[in-house]
Amino acid sequence: MFTIAVQTGTWGGGNALPTESSVRDILFETNAICALIIDKKGIVKFINKTYLDIIGKREEEVLGHSIGDITPETRSLIVIKTGKAIIGYNWNLNSYNMIASSVPLIKNGELVGCFAYSIFMDIWDAQDLVDNFMIELKMYRDEVRHVYSARHTFPEIIGQAENIQEIKALAQKAALHPSITVLISGESGTGKELFAHAIHSASIRSKMPFIRVNCAAIPENLLEAELFGYEEGSFTGARKGGSTGKFELANGGTIFLDEIGEMSLTMQSKLLVFLQEREFEKLGNHHPIRVNVRVIAATNKDLEEMIRQQKFREDLYYRLNVLNLEIPPLRDRIEDLPLLVDHLIPQINKDLKTRVTDMSDEAMHLLSKYNWPGNIRELFNVLQRSMLLADLDNHRTITTKQIFFMKIKCDTIKPSTSNTLKELIRDYEKQILAKVLEETNYNKTKTAAILDMDLSWLYKKIKQYGLTREDM
């Protein structure tokens, strides 16, 4: 039972309790609440100014009178009768909506009265609060959209090859159906994330968040909390106040589950439940949260083979694979190489502050002979390196001179006679180092940059393999 004990004495630290008159003065002048004290007969012993203003009476018209005559709907008389508090009820007094509480006053174990108070605010203050809240909510939503927004569109998907055009057209159709789950498959570096961004950007969800989750980068024991969120204290190390999960943040928008093939079977089961029910529970909270999101998943693995190996759930596969986009590797659309190079050069110039304009036909021909296991991501890396070298030579055009390291990849390296893998790697490493040193006229700084290795490590390898100019 909630009561207020009326007593005398001191509180912590030995400070005297406030005097009755000072308490009366504070309560009387406080305009944030209505306050009232009645005795056990219901006679008003105290009423504050705010209460008087609302009922339109003077203090002398209320004190000494029965509360039932002043506000017949009061619940304070019920408290006097039952001795039990009534906490947090809605109360309307002369068109003012308030949250009220009435609690019994106890002295020496005996009920002596009731203290009633109501928290309210003027309707204009309430409107200001609502307006401020809506402004803050808009700012929060704008910030979420800015942080979690798609950065790419369909025009950025470059290529005239028939296979890429077909996939692009299918992806554009998928964008028109904002609830369809999409599975994007393909080798690393083919542009799966680019397609996911583009689908979101072209859909009616484009103004809402686009959130990427790399399933391979988050430890299994943390992935559930990352996706669904958690309440404070739900596990050791949980952040104070809990955390909002990515599915909840993505509400109204798109969640992109990259590298879905790396997800554990346990998490696959939880994801399947979400896809079936479209709701989830935070860790430490059993109240379901319903959200409206499009799910796009991507993988570079053969999920059907993983199903056969019992490493991926078949039922989840069919839930994800409503629409499948299989992105072709660069080697299967090598005719797009010139278009891709022309598209990437301005981007890299901006990033690296270089001034390269194009690539020679001979250099382009050399690149077209390569198999590109790393696809467009590898092409981007090759262009970065060759453009830096061209800029160092004050060249505006990339020539075979700047991409001679690609020639090493394309040409057949002399067969090794070594028997062990360690010896085989050593022989190939020695041949590559010797070739690059020769092409750079033994410029070790340039050689290290081309091979993307630390200069001190290069010196160590030169000594190890006897690759000084004198030795050669």
pLDDT at 190: 95
Q: How confident is the model at residue 407 (pLDDT cuts 50, 70, 90)?
A: low
**pLDDT digit string, tens, across residues 131-152:** 555 665 566 556 555 556 667 8
Q: How confident is the model at residue 193 (pLDDT cuts 50, 70, 90)?
A: very high
Structure-block tokens of residue 180: 């369809």
Domains of the chain listed by start with CATH number: 4-120 (3.30.450.20), 154-326 (3.40.50.300), 338-465 (1.10.8.60)
Q: How far is CA 55 from the centre of its chain?
A: 51
Task: Identify the burial level of 382 via C-beta atoms within 10 angstroms of its C-beta, where 0-12 means exposed, 13-18 middle and 19 or more buried.
Answer: buried
More confident residue, 413 or 326: 326
**pLDDT digit string, tens, across residues 411-438:** 544 444 555 556 656 776 787 788 778 8
Mean pLDDT score, 176-191: 95
Question: By the 8 A CB rule, do 246 and 293 touch?
Answer: no
Most confidently modeled of 40-54, 276-290, 331-345? 331-345
Mean pLDDT score, 88-111: 82
pLDDT at 159: 94
Structure-block tokens of residue 114: 């009731």
pLDDT at 12: 36
φ, ψ (nearest 5 deg) of residue 110? -120, 140
In this model, does residue 24 exceed pLDDT 50?
yes
Question: By the 8 A CB rule, do 312 and 183 touch?
Answer: no
More confident residue, 259 or 24: 259
Mean confidence (pLDDT) of the chain: 82
Structure-block tokens of residue 468: 């000084």
Task: Identify the burial level of 27 via C-beta atoms within 10 angstroms of its C-beta, where 0-12 means exposed, 13-18 middle and 19 or more buried.
Answer: buried
pLDDT at 11: 34
3-state secondary structure of 320: helix
